[in-house]
């Protein structure tokens, strides 16, 4: 169904492919990246950031699903 989040079965937000949970996770993920880059002395790629987040038990499932989707879409087919 087109009106569902592309990661779960919840209704998606207007003008987004995600529900409010996954849209919020994406927003937070993007907002925190700059802070992580600063903490790592300006030397942290987005892929390294994602790998570090995936390895943390504190990282929530919604963020992990967003990261996994990003990684799958970045793989050439």
What's the pLDDT band for 21 if we cut at 50, 70, 90?
Answer: very high
Confidence of residue 73 (pLDDT cuts 50, 70, 90): confident
How many residues are there in the chain? 77
As a whole number of angstroms, the distance between CA 9 and CA 36 comes to: 31
Q: What pTM does this model have?
A: 0.83
Q: How confident is the model at residue 77 (pLDDT cuts 50, 70, 90)?
A: low
Q: What 3-state class would DSSP assign to 4? A: strand
Tokens of 7: 């990661």
Q: How far apart are CA 64 and CA 71, in angstroms?
A: 10
Neighbours of 23 (CB within 10 A): 18
Q: What is the CA radius of gyration of the chain?
A: 14
Q: Which residue has the higher pLDDT, 34 or 76?
A: 34
- For the chain, give every domain's residue range: 20-74
């Amino acid at each position: 169904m087109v009106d569902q989040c592309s990661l779960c079965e919840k209704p998606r937000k207007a003008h987004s492919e995600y529900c409010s949970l996954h849209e919020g996770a994406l927003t937070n993920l993007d907002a925190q990246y700059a802070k992580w880059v600063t903490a790592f002395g300006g030397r942290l790629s987005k892929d390294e950031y994602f790998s570090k987040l995936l390895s943390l038990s504190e990282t929530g499932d919604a963020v992990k699903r967003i990261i996994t989707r990003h990684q799958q879409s970045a793989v050439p087919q």
